[in-house]
Amino acid sequence: MPRLARIRRPPHRPAPIAIVSTLQTALRKRTARWLRAALAIADAWRPQIRADASKRWLDDKLRSLAAEIEASLAGVGSDFELVANRIAKRTAAEQKELFASIRSVDPDKVKKLERLSLRAAPGVGKKIDGFRRQNVAKIKSIGGETVRRVSQALAEAESKGWHRDQLRSRIQEVADVSRSKADLLARDQVLKLNGQITETRQTQAGVTEYTWSSSQDERVREWHDELDGSIQSWDDPPVTNDAGDRNHPGTDYQCRCVAIPILPDLSAYADD
């Protein structure tokens, strides 16, 4: 078994909830436009007499809603890229804190290990690009679902002869669901990215094992609470839920756990 460098255990760094909030706020501004556009349809709604006129009116309004949602998402990729870069900077700061905790070892070796860990890693850049692309597609999917649900509400309003206030109430429910899904998307995806970039940075520095650290509060899931304090290998993620899925910290659904690295023998990083 390789000799471990003698270090002070780095303090627990909580999951990046502040960065989650930043993305949620940005997405809420966009979904608020969806609500205004949908409520404008409700305000203009009248029970139609002729079926063909009704269909034309509905189709026109739904096209307008879809166009407004598409316009509201212009530049949304920059929202995802901004928070992804903040995650990358945050994990780099964590690595620096780790190196500062090393004691009684050759400082030249530590510097070399730090350079290996903090250089512009292609793996980090690829994860940021993938995060942006995947989540732009996901938020657009939520927008498309919003249009479908508004269409269903309009059809029901017409068939049942709803008053305008009834339609507005249903559309508000649709908007609430869309905002909730966007919030969950932001939370889950930021936590996943944090876990993925942490893994990339640690393994690039030669770290093969870590200590699982949970958030240690009442919201921690049973599986994750049991993993708290255990030593895990980056090559062999543990089971983290009843479905038998294997995940590292942060990569299970909305997981707030983090990985505290265990440094390898620094002699491997001696200058040539």
- Residue 220 backbone phi and psi in degrees, to 5: -65, 130
Q: Rounded to 5 degrees, what are φ and ψ at 7?
A: -135, 155
pLDDT at 2 over 60: no
The predicted pLDDT at position 7 comes to 44
- Percent pLDDT > 90 in the chain is 54
Whether residue 103 is predicted with pLDDT greater than 60 in this model: the reply is no
- For residue 62, pLDDT over 60 is answered with yes
Q: Of 8-12, 13-17, 248-252, where does mean pLDDT reach its minimum?
A: 8-12
Mean pLDDT, residues 156-179:
93
Q: What is the pLDDT of residue 92?
A: 82
Lowest mean pLDDT among 42-46, 93-97, 133-137: 93-97
Give me the pLDDT at residue 5, please.
Answer: 41
pLDDT reported for residue 52? 62
Is residue 195 within 8 Å of 94, Cβ to Cβ?
Answer: no
The mean predicted confidence, pLDDT, of the chain is 85
pLDDT at 263: 73
216 Ramachandran zone, left/alpha/beta (phi>0; psi -120 to 50): left
Any bridge partners for residue 259, and if so which?
212
pLDDT(109) > 70: no
Please give the C-alpha separations between residue 13 and each of 45, 95, 116, in angstroms, as whole numbers. 52, 11, 22
Q: Bigger pLDDT: 204 or 85?
A: 85
| Per-residue confidence band for 6, with pLDDT thresholds at 50, 70 and 90 | very low
Residues 272 and 116 sit within 8 Å (Cβ to Cβ): no
With a cut of 80, say whether residue 226 has pLDDT above it: yes
